[in-house]
Amino acid sequence: MNEKVPMLKATQWQTLNDCEMNKENFQALLRNEIPSIRISNFASSEECNKLALAIAKVGFDFYKNVEPPIGRIGITQYEYIKKDKLGYFDAVEKAKKTYNQVTSLSFDPLKRLATILRQNVSGKVQIAYENETYGYYFAGLIRHINIALLHIDFARLDAPDWVIGNITSQLVWNLYVKAPSQGGVCKVYNRQWQPEDEKYKTLSSYGYDHSLVATSEVKHNIPVTGDLVIFNSRNFHEVLPGIGERITISSFIGKMPGGDLVFWS
């Protein structure tokens, strides 16, 4: 990694309830003092229905060699960690075009969230930018997930040689475009990834052994159509099986050393 990974003192969360969006709660979430923020009714039923119809029209691609299967529209930086960086940025324009194709028929969740963050959090909010050679990242991944293994998302691990590898903390937001009729809960554990945890990673998988979180506090984020949930993606988390489709739009939010917030997927 480009610098030593910052260690955080393990403490109990202040609450296991949903927290509202405001400056104090957002900073607390960055510090892992609360488990999540929920913006209820972030999108209306009509907006979600229009997004779902547009998503169905475009259709999902499925990740190769990922079990259980996860469908997606868009690209992730994680897919390119063992490839040429240029490959990711070459694919950004096409991914943006598809994202805009979907959101133009309803609304742009990324822009709406950016406005809310600017109103509630000091500092600049923008799409992550690598440099003049590569340009901007893609943000706004659309996914069809019925199950996700226990894992973390942390650019200090996944992208040490990219600009996003400089983040001091990392969140993820998920807008539930379609929530399953039952289940599909995202469990977030009060256990943040540390470098020594890599020995618990499952061979040939992105998942980790559950012994890491056996004694950890856990927050059950229940999917509700139209709600947007933000949590600290350095915390171990997983998605439990559900009945019915579970479709989300999401991206990461990274806090840069100067305090600016950046989006990427």
Q: Locate the domains of the chain by residue range.
A: 23-264
Q: What is the DSSP letter of 129?
A: B
How far apart are alpha carbons 31 and 111 in whole angstroms? 24
Q: What is the dihedral of CA 137, 92, 173, 59, to 10 degrees?
A: 180
Residue 4 pLDDT level (bands cut at 50, 70, 90)? low
User: Helix (H, G, I), strand (E, B), or coil: what is residue 47?
Assistant: helix
Per-state percent for the chain, helix, strand, coil, to nearest 5: 30, 30, 45
Query: Quick check: 7 pLDDT over 70?
Result: no
Find how far residue 19's CA is from the centre of its chain: 18
Looking at residue 2, its pLDDT comes to 41
Q: What is the pLDDT of the chain when averaged over all its residues? A: 93
Looking at residue 61, its pLDDT comes to 82
- Counting residues of the chain whose pLDDT is more than 70, the rounded percentage is 94
Amino acid at 183: G
Query: Quick check: 1 pLDDT over 50?
Result: no
Burial track 172-202 (b if 16+ CB lie within 10 A, e otherwise): bbbbbbbbbeebbbbbbbbbbbeeebeeebe
How far apart are alpha carbons 248 and 225 in whole angstroms? 9
What is the average pLDDT across 127-153? 95
- What pLDDT digit, counting tens, does each position of 181-226 carry? 999 999 999 999 999 999 999 887 889 999 999 999 999 999 999 9
User: Helix (H, G, I), strand (E, B), or coil: what is residue 25?
Assistant: helix
One of 2.60.120.620, 3.40.190.80, 2.40.40.20, 2.30.30.40 is the CATH number of 23-264, namely 2.60.120.620
Contact 134, 143 (CB under 8 A): no
Looking at residue 67, its pLDDT comes to 67
Looking at residue 11, its pLDDT comes to 84
